[in-house]
Copies of this chain bind each other. A is one copy, B any other.
Amino acid sequence: MNKQVSAQEAISHIQDGMTILYGGFMGVGTPKILIDALIEQGTKELTVIGNDAATPGAGIGRLISNGQVKKLIASHIGLNPEVAQLMNTGKLQVELVPQGTLVERIRCGGAGIGGFLTQTGLGTEVQEHKQVIQVGTQKYLLELPIRADVAIIRGTVADTLGNVFYRATTKNLNPLAATAADLVIVAAQEIVDPGELDPEKVMTPCVYVNYVVGGES
């Protein structure tokens, strides 16, 4: 059950047209070496789903700059002017989702929950094309789960079984994205043997992880 492989081998399972969930908030917590490997591999027509578009030189922004992304689903693109430009010229589809709704939809995708009711976005454009469900006197939007073909995750410490710890604010979307994809690849700053990672610090139990890659910066 040793899941450690090279970045190239892990990324070789990602094919043109696939959907990828990525961890990170403004690039902090996005796995740099997996983005490197995806750029090297040149996989195209990707749909990527994560918190934000980072900046042109950081995180998922690099993959977008390199023309490998067909569609971006995120809550915020305001700090990446290149994304706005690509969107306005029709070269990139962008779907904007409220941040709390986005992360909860991903959690539902991993947790086998068919959807959830929220008042976030009620009465705004976010409501379009969505079921409105009434409970008592309150109205809610029904938001549906998100899953992806692949999740690319950045861990601080992982063991070879695939248990992962994320330090400080690098957690963000990482432990959620790791539950909601068919193939989950973790790039870790440090890889240890089973038993060396404090069970109390594991935020992603190994069951969710397919591959562990070392050498993340």
Copies in the complex: 2
Q: How many chain A residues touch the partner (CB < 8 A)?
A: 24
Tell me, in angstroms, the Cα distance from A138 to B112 when the chains sit together. 12
State which residues 100-119 of A face B: CB under 8 Å: 104, 108, 111-119
Q: Judge if A167 is at the interface, Cβ distance under 8 Å.
A: yes
Give the shortest distance, in Å, between A191 (CB) and chain B (any CB): 19
Evaluate contact between A140 and B117: CB separation under 8 angstroms. Answer: no
Partner of A116, one of B108, B119, B167, B201: B108
- A119 nearest in chain B by CB position: B114
Tell me, in angstroms, the Cα distance from A25 to B146 when the chains sit together. 31
Partner of A117, one of B116, B135, B167: B116
SS class, residues of chain A in contact with chain B: mixed
Tell me, in angstroms, the Cα distance from A112 to B142 when the chains sit together. 14
Evaluate contact between B114 and A114: CB separation under 8 angstroms. Answer: no
Q: Judge if A144 is at the interface, Cβ distance under 8 Å.
A: yes
Known pairs A104-B113, A114-B135, A168-B199 / 7 extra A-B pairs, C-beta < 8 Å: A113-B117, A113-B118, A114-B138, A115-B117, A116-B116, A133-B142, A135-B142
